[in-house]
Chain A
Amino acid sequence: MALISRDDVAHVARLARLDLTEAELDQFAGQLAAVLEHAADVAALDTAGVPPTAHPFELVNVLRDDVAGPCLDRDEVLAMAPAAEDGRFRVPRILGEAP
């Protein structure tokens, strides 16, 4: 049974703004199904009593003090951008409000 449908791949591709061809949708659906199948092997293990983990390290509370450091030079920063105006990054027309 396929763990991921062609429609799922098309949906995820749209969210990631990837323009996939019909052939690529088939190709990636197959490849992603294999990846998910491999990950699904974990389900075969008895994980009762194993707490969920969000990170491979056991380290917690890695923090820095609230002390200001140097920033980048604005001209240098804006020079990296395709376009700038009035000290700001210039971007193409936005089609909707912020999420």
Chain B
Amino acid sequence: MRPLAEVQSEFAAALRDRQLPIPRGCVAPDGSPDEKRFAVYRNNVASSLIDCVAESYPAIRRLLGEECFRETARVYAAQDLPRSPVMLEYGGGFPAFLEQFEPLAGLPYLADVARIERAWLEAYHAPEAAPLDPAALAGVPADRAVDMCLTLHPSVRIVRSPFPALSIWHMNIADVEVQPIDLEAGGEDALVARPEAEVQARALPAGGALFLTALMDGETLTQAAERALRSCPEFNLTDHLTGILETGVVIAGRLKRRRSRGH
């Protein structure tokens, strides 16, 4: 009797590689090998993974059309099998795959639209946290407020794109009238988060992505504003701070000790 490990290794190899012969000992009721019976498992694995990618990337599915999407997802899934039984996490490699997938090289914005969909899914399943009431910051003296570090909601994701990826995503996800999009119109930065019940995706004003990224890196408001100002001279700290407090993506604020500045 072959060890179970050997039986399963051979079975798994034949699932991964359709060119391999079907595993020894896998038989029909008459004891004969039957390619089509084993093919049910190959098809189940492939179609369940394609379905999972399709559920996670509905805008890409609509942009590519069903047939092209499924072929693309089939190639992706064959080279990136899940590594966890928690399928909610599957498909994280799909945007990077799209970026280098030669047959779709003519659609350079696809990968960033996929990054927004991935950010949406991650935000959907992210931990709960209550937004900070803006009034809680009212008592902080103005001269100390600039030294504050803000903790952002664990669902916050930022997607930067040289393409109008957020507009493309929105037009292909919501029940909105399809309008022509000028790919040369410039890039968009998207903030994706779930501060309350539902996921929100919105465009960030110029400098916003750098500012939020700096806050997530643990920098103070001053440091984060400086970072944004370096590439975006019109950046206005008050406007941005008001904006992120209103959207509910800040969950805590704390004063950084002055002597730790510059770390």
**A and B from one assembly?**
no
Query: Which A residues contact B (CB, under 8 angstroms)?
Result: none
Query: Which B residues contact A (CB, under 8 angstroms)?
Result: none
